[in-house]
Amino acid sequence: MGEFRPEFTPFGIKGRAPALAPRDIHCWLVPISGPVSEDTVLDADERSRAARFHFEKDRNRFVAGRVWCREILGRYLGQAAGTLTFERQSGCKPTLTGEPISYNFSRSGDWGLIAISQPAIIGADIEKMRATDDLPYVARGHFSSAEQASLARLKGDHWFDGFFACWTRKEAVVKAIGEGILMPLDCFDVSLDPASPATIIDARADAAVAQGWSLIGFRPDDGYWGAIATNIPEPKLSFYTPA
């Protein structure tokens, strides 16, 4: 499918989480703006990272995202949010220590996106669209030549949609692989036309990524783009938001 706007089902997080089957991916859209979240459930590393933000607004959004991750993941695992432990190697995505689920988190603007599955490779990205003068330079610096050519064929608002569709899809792939900024974004190609299905067209960096991987692009809210990348073939996505 091409561009789609999923309906996020309100779900209370004070009880049990939705049942998670082997091919399921649960996508949670969580609010991260507003009053600062209670941070007593965070560990020392998370509090240290929060303290390094220069602006209070950015710190509050970081804290809110981490608290939502802990609260929601805790419901899937039947554990208190503050008891979860995470492993994070330099340049790599954080993972739950010794737990039977995988997750990935992204935040931008007022929203955070949490993707949860049974053990699998999974990456999630959400981006708030912004029409700034530097976007063409970003595309030339990070998109592959094939992606730049595809983007050049789009005009007006379609160009901006194409840019953010491409960016979120590429970020989701990089986050799924877990190499973060260590992996150049121009070493693989994704589709970017919002009217066409999200696909990994050419994975020169890792041939295994091109075989059997799934890439899903969507619009989580007005003015936002999101994407999920995973090695789960034909995953079943469900969309939730805290009630």
| DSSP structure class, residue 16 | P
pLDDT band at 202 (very low <50, low <70, confident <90, very high): confident
* Statement: residue 179 has pLDDT above 80: no
Give percent above pLDDT 70 in the chain. Answer: 92
* Statement: residue 184 has pLDDT above 70: yes
Distance from C-alpha of 128 to C-alpha of 168, rounded to nearest angstrom: 10
* Statement: residue 18 has pLDDT above 80: yes
**pTM, two decimal places:** 0.93
Q: pLDDT tens digits, residue range 52-106?
A: 999 999 999 999 999 999 999 999 999 999 999 998 765 567 889 888 999 999 9
* Statement: residue 166 has pLDDT above 60: yes
Q: Going from the N-terminus, what domains does the chain have, and what CATH number goes with each?
A: 9-125+231-242 (3.90.470.20), 131-220 (3.90.470)
Instruction: Please indicate whether residue 126 or residue 157 has the higher confidence score (pLDDT).
Output: 126
What's the confidence (pLDDT) of residue 141?
93
What's the confidence (pLDDT) of residue 186?
80
- Mean pLDDT, the chain, integer: 90
Amino acid at 238: S
pLDDT band at 19 (very low <50, low <70, confident <90, very high): very high
User: 25-58 in b/e burial notation, b at 16+ Cβ within 10 A?
Assistant: bbbbbbebeeeebebebbeeebeeebeeeeeeee
